[in-house]
Amino acid sequence: MTESAELEVDTFNPGWRLLAAFTSFAIVNLACAIDATSVSVALPTISDALHGTAIQAFWIGTAFLLATTVWQPTFIAFSHVFGRRPILLIALTLFTIGAIMCGVSKNITVMLVGRVIQGSGCGGILTLTEALITDLIPLRQRGNYFALIGVVWAFGSVSGPLVGGIFYLNIPIVVIGFVGIIAFLNLSARERTMTEKISQIDYIGAFVFVASSTSFLVPISWGGVMYPWSSWHTLVPLLLGLVGLGAFCIHEAYFALFPLLPIRIFGNRSTSLTYLITFLHGMILWSIVYYLPLYFMGVKGYTPIIAGLGSLPQTLTVVPCAIIVGLVASRTARYRWSLYSGFVLTVLGIGLLYLLDVKTKVVEWVFLLLISGIGMGLLFPGMNLSIQASVSQVDAADAAGLFTFFRTLGQSVGVAIGGVIFQNRMNAELRDYPDLAGDSADVISLIKQMRSLPQGDPLTLILRYAFAKSIKIVFVVMCGLAVLALFATVFIKGYNLNQALATEQGFVDGGRGPLEKDVDSAGPAEDGSKASV
C-alpha cells in the first residue's frame, strides 16, 4: 500500500454535500427498484385492463428488463465524455417519460413503448450509480455505499409488489432525486470542446453492441413462449447476436480509437471469474424472484399482494447481510470471505427450496427462505468489491458498469432458462390432461384458470401439484449453478482494498474545488499483497 493511499483511507471524510448527492441518486434507485418488481404481480390485472393477450402481458415485463440491459455500457461510455451528471439526468428523464406513458396508456402498444423507454432510463441509472460511487468513494469504503444501494433495492423490491404497477408513484420520487442531483452532485471534468467530445465516442462499437445484445436477448426471452427453441425465429437472431458480440470484442480490442469498453479489464483472471459468478448470481436471484411469487400464487393460491409479502423473509434478509459485508470490508480490508460464505449459504438455501410443496406450512417456508436470503445478501457487495479491487482504479467506472451489465444479463438469461425448465416439466406433469398442457407456457392463464375453477375441483389440486413439481426442478438447476459459482470462487484472488481513488470526475465540495486523488498509486495490489482470506 502506498503512503498516499494509506493517508486517503485514514482521512476520507465525505461531508454533508457528498452525502446529499449520494442520497439523491439512491432515491432514484428506489424508483427503479419499485418499478422493476411492481409489474410482475400486476401483469394479470394490467393485461385485463388493457385487453391484452398473454403474450403481450409477457412482453410488458420482459421489455423493461431487456432495455435495462442493452444500454448500460453505452451510458458509461457517454458519461466519460459528456460527464456523469448530464448523462444521469438524461437517464432520469427517460425513466420519467416512460413512467408517464405507462400511467396514461390505454392500450398495450403505448404500455410497451413506455416500458422500453423506462427500462432504458433505468439501465442508465443503475450503471451510472455504480460509476459515481467509484468516482466519489475510496475503494476501501465503497462496500458501505454499495451495501446502502443494496438496501434501497431491497426496500424497493419489497414495496414494488405491494403497490402493484402504480406508475405515477415513481414521479414524485424521481423529482426529489432530480432536484437533489442538480443541487448537490458537482463533479470536476476535463475541458474539451463539443467537437472533441463528439469525436471521442465509439459509435460503431455502440451500435454493434446494442444491436447484437438485443439480437441475443430477444430470442432468449421468447424462446419456448412465442416460438419453439428449435424454430428459425429463435435460432437465427440468437446466433447473429452471438456473432455480433464476438465482432464487437474484436473491434474493441484492435480497431476502436476510443473503445466503448476497455477489453484489458478481462485480462485479469480474478476479474473475469467474478464477472462469471455475477452473471450466475443474477440468474439464480432473478429465478427466485420470478418463481417464488408463482409458487405462492399457483401452488398456495395466494393473491398477488400476499405473494409479494411471501418473499419478505428472503428479501429483507439481504439488507443486514449486505451492510455487514460493507462494514467488515471497510474495517478489515477483507472481502473474499463473503464470496465463499455467500455461495455456500446460497447452495444450501436454494437446495432447501426443493422442499417447498403444496402442503408446506407458513412457518416452514418462512425459514426455508431465510438461508438463501442471507447468502444472496453477502454476495451483493462482496462481488462488487472483488471486481473493484482487481482492476486498476482508472478503469473502476467501466468495471462497475460491467458489473451491473453482467448481473442484469444473468437476470434475463435466468428467467428464460427457468421458463424452459418450468414449461417442459409442466408438459410432462400434465401429459394426461392435454387441454391443460397446451397452456403450460402461459403461466398467467394457468393461474387464472385455477382461480376460476369451483372450490374443491380436482383439476385445481392437479394443477397445484404440477406447479410445485415444476418449480422444484427450476430450483434444482439454480442450485447446480450456485455450486458452479462456489467452485469458481476458489480461483478468485483477494486484492488490497487500500488503493487510491483515481477519476477525472471527482467531487467538487462547495468552493473547495475537486477532491483530487493520486492516480499513479491507483492500481490493484500485486498478488503477493492479498488482503483476503
Separation between Cα atoms, residue 298 and residue 296, nearest integer Å: 6
Q: What is the model's pLDDT at position 518?
A: 41
The whole-angstrom distance between residue 347's C-alpha and the CA centroid of its chain comes to: 20
pLDDT band at 9 (very low <50, low <70, confident <90, very high): low
Q: Are 321 and 378 in contact (CB under 8 A)?
A: yes
Taking the C-alpha atoms of residue 352 and residue 369, their distance in angstroms, rounded to an integer, is 8
User: How far is Cα of residue 340 from the mean position of the Cα atoms in its chain?
Assistant: 21
Q: Residue 314 in contact with residue 289, Cβ under 8 Å?
A: no
Position 114 pLDDT exceeds 80 = yes
Q: Is the pLDDT of residue 72 over 80?
A: yes
Give residue-wise pLDDT tens across range 55-64: 677 777 778 8
Q: Average pLDDT for residues 399-406, to the nearest whole number? A: 90
- Judged by DSSP in three states, 149 sits in helix
Cβ–Cβ under 8 Å, residues 183 and 16: no
Tell me the pLDDT band of 117, cut-offs 50, 70 and 90.
very high
Lowest mean pLDDT among 181-190, 257-266, 503-512: 503-512
Q: Is 418 helix (H, G, I), strand (E, B) or coil?
A: helix
pLDDT tens string 320-332: 888 888 888 888 8
In the chain, % of residues over pLDDT 70: 85
Helix boundaries (H) for 137-227: 139-163, 170-184, 194-199, 203-222
Rg, Å, the chain Cα set: 23
Give pLDDT, residue 529.
42
pLDDT at residue 276 in the model: 95
The mean pLDDT value of the chain amounts to 82
Confidence of residue 435 (pLDDT cuts 50, 70, 90): low
Where in the chain do CATH 1.20.1250.20 domains reside?
Answer: 3-201+258-529
Class of domain 3-201+258-529: mainly alpha
Q: Which residue has the higher pLDDT, 36 or 510?
A: 36
Q: What's the pLDDT at 533?
A: 39
Q: What's the pLDDT at 525?
A: 46
Q: Are 350 and 321 in contact (CB under 8 A)?
A: no
Whether residue 134 contacts residue 396, with contact meaning beta carbons closer than 8 Å, is answered with yes
Provide the pLDDT for residue 292.
84
Residue that is written with C-alpha cell 459468478 in the block: 277
Query: Can you tell me the mean pLDDT for 413-430?
Result: 81
Are 508 and 140 in contact, with CB atoms under 8 Å apart? Answer: no
Tell me how long the chain is. 533
pLDDT score at 483: 96
Alpha-carbon torsion angle 59, 65, 67, 68, nearest 10? 160
pLDDT of the residue at 434: 65
Q: What is the pLDDT of residue 160?
A: 67
Residue 299 has pLDDT above 80, yes or no: yes
Residue 446 near residue 298 (C-beta atoms within 8 A): yes
Read off the pLDDT of residues 365-385 as tens digits, 9 standing for 90 and up. Answer: 888 888 888 898 889 888 989
What are 131-173's pLDDT values in tens digits? 999 888 888 888 888 888 878 887 777 676 666 556 777 788 8
**Which pLDDT score is estimated for 488?**
95
Number of Cβ within 10 Å of residue 153's Cβ equals 24
